[in-house]
Amino acid sequence: MATRIFILLNLFLILSCVSETSQDPNKLIVNTWKLTEFTPAPQFTMPDSVRQEIIAKTVVEFAADKKFKQTGIGRTHTGTYNISKDGKQITYYHDQKDVPFTETVLELTSKRMSVVDQNGNRMVRKN
């Protein structure tokens, strides 16, 4: 009896330790994400007040139908997106631009997304 309880407890422990990183990135990304940290690439110098305004006003919404909407300082971008099967890259296809834009995903959980865009800007988003 003690052996069965031990086995059941270990099984429960193993199942409860499955991390969010093993979850489907297509499901994890669907949410409204608020920018909480922004570190511009070295080639993009800006006053801290501008950086703080970007953080305060930038929100990205990812929908299950692969559409996105990004609002920021006085502008809104819409289009479609794709996240790679391994969850390591997001590609944006803006409605108003012909060239896709990519971000490398450093972390993606149900509560936090950390990325570096193709220009080298680092961002953390939370919901």
Q: How confident is the model over 31-42, as pLDDT tens digits?
A: 999 999 999 999
pLDDT of residue 97: 82
Per domain, the residue ranges of the chain are 23-126
In 4-75, DSSP assigns E strands to: 31-39, 59-62, 67-71
Cβ atoms < 10 Å from Cβ of 86: 8
Mean pLDDT of 109-126: 97
Say which DSSP state 55 is in.
H
Q: What angle do CA 58, 31, 46 make, to 5 degrees?
A: 20
pLDDT, position 79: 97
- The closest alpha carbon to 33, from 66, 51, 53, 55, belongs to 55
Q: What average pLDDT score do residues 1-9 get? A: 47
Confidence of residue 2 (pLDDT cuts 50, 70, 90): low
Domain 23-126 has CATH 2.40.128.540: yes
Q: State pTM to two decimals.
A: 0.80
Contact 16, 109 (CB under 8 A): no
Residue-wise pLDDT tens digits, 40-99: 999 999 999 999 999 999 999 999 999 999 999 889 999 999 999 999 999 999 998 889
